[in-house]
Amino acid sequence: MNGDTVTIPLGSGAEFDRVRAIAEALGEAAGPLGDDTAPVPTGEGMLVVSTDVSVENVHFKRAWIRPVEIGWRATSAALSDLAAAGALPAGVTIALTVPHDVSHDDVIALMAGAGQAALAAGTKIIGGDLSSGPVWSVAVTVLGHAVRPMSRRGASVGDGVWVTGWVGGARAAIRDWESGKEPEPTIREFFVNPLPRLATARWLAEQGATAMIDVSDGIAGDALHLAAASAVRIEIDIARIPLCPAVPLVAIRHGDDPAVMGARGGEDYEILCTLPASFDGAEACMTDTGVPVARIGTVVSGSGAIMLRDGVGVDIHGFRHEV
């Protein structure tokens, strides 16, 4: 282990042995670990911060995904919040609660996955905490900088409603797991290895996006959050929502409506945003960022969010938090 991985020498004891092992596993993804605080690299614009918690049996099940995937998924979910702010990541901290019945190797694998997600986003793990408890809990705090931090507030009547990438894959994987079937690899990948749309979100902000949120509660749920924050009404045509390729087959197999599965979704970690009516940059977005963006609705006067099929309202709810 080189001196850049743990800048502060650690004392003896099981906890510190585990920290040393984590730092070794993180490799290039390790920031200046070993002290009670961590310096945050400076950047252009304002500092933005978000914390996201992934809890076993609430956000994932051990029977579904491996420890390395738990780490990647939890870290990417938190980084997706930075994407929704149009921010450039500056560091990640992780407070990890470890169940009593997991191995040391499982802990190291989870943190290795977190480090891989941080590196993929161009940042590092700069600190955290370890504790024990009845189930896995991964509390990830992300720090970044944004010249013009995006918000859920700002959508105006007449704006178009757009979404990046493809949705429905994570929900399709859960539907298979809950029915006792292992999801096919392409669907499983959307659940275990989400990709925060950091570069695409910054590009959309530069194009004049007026409001932005990441799709964690599903389009139906997050459109409602966006509408409430902006004091507008959002109308979405569910037939225009871009679905992950295998979603229609999974939905039909379970007796679900594919478009409804896409709108309900959840944990897609795409970007839902509003843009001026004049925006016509879908092709440019794909060219510049490698990620498609599709218009799926319109901002109108009023309140709430409504999902439409052929102009008729459809009762679809996103994820509802229980706290």
Give percent of the chain above pLDDT 70.
94
- pLDDT at residue 195, rounded to an integer: 97
Strand runs (DSSP E) across 166-279, as ranges? Answer: 211-214, 233-237, 271-275
Mean pLDDT of 202-228: 97
Mean pLDDT of 190-208: 97
Domains of the chain in sequence order: 14-146 (3.30.1330.10), 160-314 (3.90.650.10)
Rounded to whole angstroms, the maximal C-alpha distance in the chain is: 66
Give percent of the chain above pLDDT 90.
84
Sorting pLDDT into bands at 50, 70 and 90, what band is 2?
very low
Q: pLDDT tens digits, residue range 90-124?
A: 999 999 999 999 999 999 999 999 999 999 999 99
The type of residue at 278 is S
Copy the structure tokens of residue 263.
């709108």
Q: Does position 181 have pLDDT exceeding 80, yes or no?
A: yes
Sorting pLDDT into bands at 50, 70 and 90, what band is 297?
very high
- pLDDT at residue 8, rounded to an integer: 65
CA atoms in the 13 A half-sphere facing the CB of 5? 15
Sorting pLDDT into bands at 50, 70 and 90, what band is 320?
low
Copy the structure tokens of residue 98.
């470890």
The type of residue at 134 is P
Q: What's the CA gap between 282 and 207, in Å, rounded?
A: 11
- pLDDT at residue 21, rounded to an integer: 86
Beta carbons of 82 and 142 less than 8 angstroms apart: yes
Q: What's the CA gap between 260 and 238, in Å, rounded?
A: 7
How high is the mean pLDDT of the chain? 93
- pLDDT at residue 44, rounded to an integer: 93
Mean pLDDT of 171-179: 96
Q: pLDDT tens digits, residue range 49-63?
A: 999 999 999 999 999
CA-wise closest residue to 234 among 225, 246, 243, 245: 225
Encode 270-291 in three state secondary structure. CEEEEECCCCCCHHHHHHHHCC
